[in-house]
Amino acid sequence: MTDEATASTTERQLGTALSAKVQHLRRVRNMSLDALARRAGLSKGTVVAIEQGKANPSIGVLCRLAVAFSLSVTDLLGDTSEGITDDPIERTRPATLWRTPQGSAATLEASTSGRTMFEMWTWTIAPGDVHRSEAHSRGTRELVSIQRGSLKVTVGSETMVLHAGEAARLLTDQPHAYAAADDQAVSFSMAVLERIEEL
């Protein structure tokens, strides 16, 4: 099976699992489609398409839905209904949420749930690929650390190139994007801190 076919199969499986999970969570929490759309900052049509399994949601959309339910993205895509435990140690399973035929990938390694969410990611972006993200919740912060290659990061109207061994703090409550800065792949780790505001 080709990388493209594998990615397509993974996307279909993700869409089916997400459809059932969003429907379940919305009903359990007695939320209308309009209320979920408003809370997630999405259009009602997008929420309907997700529940019908007709959407291919981006990482940004997954993050918005997770925030709306006070869950991590991992919990939103997992088997648990709420995702919060009192265990002092809890094993997690990484989930690759973005992949391209050129070899780019973004993997959510671990995350917490609740009104303050903390996520750990590993990324590889191949030359020519760009990952664009919509604005996260107000005050969302990201930390990036470059392991290999050079990263071109854009937040709002500001762009910076970071090289291996460098790191940066980002305020990502505005549109932002990541790309390889030259003709070599870039690998980096990312930590995301997002707080959910009461409506």
Instruction: Encode pLDDT of 158-188 as tens digits.
Output: 999 999 999 999 999 999 999 999 999 999 9
Nearest to 151 by CA among 132, 124, 191: 124
Nearest to 178 by CA among 102, 95, 77, 105: 105
- Note the pTM of the prediction, 2 decimals: 0.78
Whether 152 is covered by a domain: the verdict is: yes
Whether 82 is covered by a domain: the verdict is: no
Q: Give the model's pLDDT for residue 81.
A: 46
Structural domain harbouring 190? 95-195
Q: Give the model's pLDDT for residue 1.
A: 36
Residues 62 and 99 in one domain: no
The Cβ of residue 71 has, within 10 Å, a number of other Cβ atoms equal to: 26
Cα–Cα distances in angstroms (integers) from residue 16 to residues 22, 36, 108, 110, in the given order: 10, 19, 19, 22
The Cβ of residue 7 has, within 10 Å, a number of other Cβ atoms equal to: 17
Q: For position 27, which CATH number holds?
A: 1.10.260.40
Residues 100 and 132 in one domain: yes
Residues 68 and 103 in one domain: no
Q: Is the pLDDT of residue 48 over 70?
A: yes
In sequence order, the 6+-apart residues with CB closer than 8 A to the CB of 184 are: 127, 149, 150
Q: Is the pLDDT of residue 7 over 60?
A: no
